[in-house]
Amino acid sequence: MGRQPCCDKVGLKKGPWTAEEDKRLINFILSNGQCCWRAVPKLAGLLRCGKSCRLRWTNYLRPDLKRGLLSEAEEKMVIELHSKLGNRWSKIASHLPGRTDNEIKNHWNTHIKKKLRRMGIDPLTHEPLVPSANDLLHQEQRQQVGASADGREGNDKVSEEQQGEEENITSAVDDAFCTDEVPMIQPHEMIAQEIQLPCMEWPESVCLWGLDEPNGWGFNFAQGDEQLGLDPFTQWQRTGLDQETWKFELF
DNA sequence: AAACGCTTCAACCGCCCACTG
DNA sequence: ACAGTGGGCGGTTGAAGCGTT
């Protein structure tokens, strides 16, 4: 007997979430907390499956998420953790506050993998790359090209690719671990009050207003009476403060 | 300006595991 | 012990954006 789908998919919406759907989901979770994802879409008035709601919340709507590319320090940590844990993205993500497994997985596949290869490191084993038979063939071809006067004909593509790759390796070593911080969503675009990090559950005291104007939402981060800017991760890294004690505050 | 190819990442899919009755 | 269920996880997909020709 086959497994039942996680929800009845007939009539359910798929694809990108609209602002209205986001608003409904946020409203519901802020009012009721995280429970029984299967029931969430029905109760929140969403034509989505529970899994889709959970994913949207954990990967995008959660207020404690950091946005933008991984910092140099985070990237190094991901590489180190990956060498120990392998593709256990959720475990890796648990070491990086405000980052999701999906985000780290995507960043690994699109940025870090390439970067490691260019540096001559196998992203799977974290060992120095052993040249493949194909690489050796290219090397041989290049040597032949260099040796013969009319060698360029028919070998242009190979030698150019090889040259390009070599340039990449050089530049990759030069700018290793240089990541551009391009925040996609400003911290002041999210809203909540008194959320303990890194707890993902919304405390009952959490209240919300201004949902009609998401762009007007804002966070402030504080420890005790001290206002410490908009980036708690950087702050507690720099100051060595205990992240458990951080609070979000509405401003 | 248009066509094409490449890159990125949000979202989906399906499997696995823990829990419960 | 077993089957059903919910949630979590990792792999994959595809639309959108961007760069190049």
Cβ atoms of A68 and A97 closer than 8 Å: no
What backbone torsions phi and psi does residue A155 show, to the nearest 5 degrees? Answer: -120, 10
Residue A119 pLDDT exceeds 50 = yes
- Distance, CA of A142 to CA of A136 (rounded, Å): 10
pLDDT, tens digit, 9 for 90 and up, residues A61-73: 888 788 777 888 8
What single letter denotes the amino acid at residue A183?
Answer: P
Best CA proximity match to A66, nearest among A248, A212, A224: A248
| Domain locations in chain A as residue ranges | 19-61, 72-118, 133-174, 187-249
Q: CA at A145, C1' at C10: how many angstroms apart?
A: 44
Identical fold between A19-61 and A72-118 = yes
pLDDT computed for residue A194 by the predictor: 37
Best CA proximity match to A228, nearest among A243, A207, A210, A208: A243
pLDDT computed for residue A177 by the predictor: 37
A243 compared with A75, residue with greater pLDDT: A75
pLDDT, tens digit, 9 for 90 and up, residues A84-109: 888 888 888 888 888 888 888 888 88
Cβ atoms of A58 and A100 closer than 8 Å: yes
* B chain positions with any atom within 7 Å of a protein CB: 7-16
Best CA proximity match to A62, nearest among A191, A163, A168, A231: A191
pLDDT computed for residue A157 by the predictor: 35
* C chain positions with any atom within 7 Å of a protein CB: 4-12, 15-16
The reply to whether A38 has its C-beta less than 7 Å from any atom of strand B is no
A123 compared with A217, residue with greater pLDDT: A123
Mean per-residue pLDDT for A65-83? 85
pLDDT computed for residue A225 by the predictor: 38
pLDDT, tens digit, 9 for 90 and up, residues A126-171: 888 766 555 555 555 555 544 443 333 333 333 333 333 333 433 3
**CATH for A72-118 (2.60.15.10, 1.10.10.60, 3.20.20.70, 3.40.50.620):** 1.10.10.60
Mean per-residue pLDDT for A194-221? 36
State whether CATH 1.10.10 applies to domain A19-61.
yes
Residues with Cβ within 8 Å of residue A201, at least 6 apart in sequence: A33, A34
pLDDT, tens digit, 9 for 90 and up, residues A216-226: 333 343 443 33
CA–C1' nearest nucleotide, residue A12: B12
Q: Which alpha helices (H) appear in chain A, and where do they start and end?
A: 19-32, 40-44, 50-56, 72-85, 89-94, 101-107, 113-118, 133-147, 156-174, 232-239
Q: Which residue's CA lies closest to nucleotide C14 at its C1' atom?
A: A15
Q: Among the listed ranges A69-78, A115-124, A144-153, which one has the minimum average pLDDT value?
A: A144-153
Percentage, residues of chain A above pLDDT 70? 47
Residue A179 pLDDT exceeds 50 = no
Q: CA at A7, C1' at C7: how many angstroms apart?
A: 13
b/e map of A164-195 (b: 16 or more CB within 10 Å)? eeeeeeeebeeeeeebeeeeeeebeebbbbeb
Instruction: Quote the tokens at residue A98.
Output: 């405000």
- Which of the four pLDDT bands, split at 50, 70 and 90, describes residue A10? low
A56 compared with A130, residue with greater pLDDT: A56
- Distance, CA of A134 to CA of A138 (rounded, Å): 6
pLDDT computed for residue A135 by the predictor: 57
The reply to whether A2 has its C-beta less than 7 Å from any atom of strand B is no
CA–C1' nearest nucleotide, residue A15: B11
